[in-house]
Amino acid sequence: MKKIGIFYGSDGGNTQSVCQKIAKEFGEENVALFDVAKTSKEEILGFDNLILASSTYGSGELQDDWDGMLDQLQESDFASKVVALVGVGDQDTYSDTFCDSLYFLYEKTKQAKIIGQTEVEGYEFSDSKALVDGKFIGLALDEDNQDDLTDERIQKWVEMIKPLFA
């Protein structure tokens, strides 16, 4: 398996913490972890295997650092990549926009081989742009209301996607 680039956007620290757990689950020798605020387009595109993670802010907004980075990237940049997505949201306070950040990452990377779709069972939200064919288009996590489920969800997700990376 080629090294995986994990790129995250995090203001409050939850998404960073989640990505550190994902890196540990993969084995830190298999991944490189980056804060998207301190990286470049070239660093992202230097990886064939990517995990892109963002928190969702306000009423469904993408994290600011990702917003600026996505403007620099083209959909075609991801055509030969394998991409898994991670969204962090609050299904209680923002039930109608839960993990919408996944949608924005997906829209930019949909020419890639997207892996890691997850079931909605076990979540309590009213709407999300992150649903495709009844599943989340990546790993959806709620560190505000279901942080007790995060480790198990990460473990199962990594186990599922690990063999799908080239």
| Residues sharing a CB contact under 8 Å with residue 150, sequence separation 6 or more, in sequence order | 18, 21, 141, 143
Domains assigned to the chain: 4-164 (3.40.50.360)
Partnered with residue 84 across adjacent β-strands are: 51, 115
On the question of pLDDT at 166 being above 90, the answer is no
Partnered with residue 52 across adjacent β-strands are: 7, 85
Q: Is the pTM of this model over 0.85?
A: yes
Q: Name the strand (E) or helix (H) holding 131.
A: strand 131-132
| Residues sharing a CB contact under 8 Å with residue 71, sequence separation 6 or more, in sequence order | none
In the predicted model, what is the mean pLDDT of the chain? 95
Q: State pLDDT tens for residues 76-132.
A: 999 999 999 999 999 999 999 999 999 999 999 999 999 999 999 999 999 999 999
Higher pLDDT, 65 or 58: 65
* Residue with the two structure tokens 């990376």: 165
